[in-house]
Amino acid sequence: GFFFVTVGLQLDFRVILDNLSTILLILPTVMLIKAIIIGLILFKQKSHNIIKTSLALLGLGEFGLVILKMAEQNKILEEQLAQTLSATIILSLILTPFLVNNLHFLKNVINKYILRKEIKHSPEFFQSLEDHIVIIGYGRLGRHVADELTKRSLEYIVVEGNQARFD
């Protein structure tokens, strides 16, 4: 708590207001780049929780505030730029708990509107299925089977009563 109070007292709110548009441009850009990098790392490792993990780790860390302060003290960054970047990091630290508390909702929004994944299937969808494999249960073994089927480009559906296993 003391660290954040100290940082908050050092912020010049005039600089923040003067550079609000820059802050609001930098924040989503950096968070998106970070999410993409995390997603690529997790995709390479065949993780099942790529979206949720990427969202949970979006926040810019408080260590960045320490680095910015040192850069400002050593005249590497101008005071105004350091203040703008510090405000960006603090705003991300404020937003991160809200992101984490709404991971399931955000994952569904990303799946539906960005990745265009169908979240719930209609009866017509199930009636149209042919030559597919049915996996009953999505525990450790079910996930392994699904991974192997995906690698072989085989179509499958999963029947699982516990939605949390998909998260």
- The predicted-structure confidence for 62-90, as pLDDT tens digits, reads as follows 888 889 989 999 999 998 899 899 899 98
pLDDT 10s digits, 119-150: 556 667 667 778 888 888 888 898 899 888 88
Q: What pLDDT, on a 0 to 100 scale, did the predictor assign at position 155?
A: 83
Mean pLDDT of 25-34: 93
Backbone φ, ψ for residue 75 (5° rounding): 60, 30
Name the CA dihedral angle for 136, 118, 95, 72, rounded to a multiple of 10 degrees.
100
Top pLDDT among 78 and 13 is at 78
Amino acid occupying residue 141: L
Q: What pLDDT, on a 0 to 100 scale, did the predictor assign at position 24?
A: 93
Mean pLDDT of 104-116: 77
Backbone φ, ψ for residue 39 (5° rounding): -60, -40
* Confidence check: pLDDT of 156 > 90: no
> Mean pLDDT for the chain?
83
Other CB atoms within 10 A of residue 6 CB? 11
Q: What pLDDT, on a 0 to 100 scale, did the predictor assign at position 167?
A: 58
| Separation of CA 73 from chain center | 32
Question: Per residue in 105-114, is it b (16+ CB within 10 Å) or e — as a string?
Answer: ebbeebeeee
Q: pTM (2 decimals)?
A: 0.62
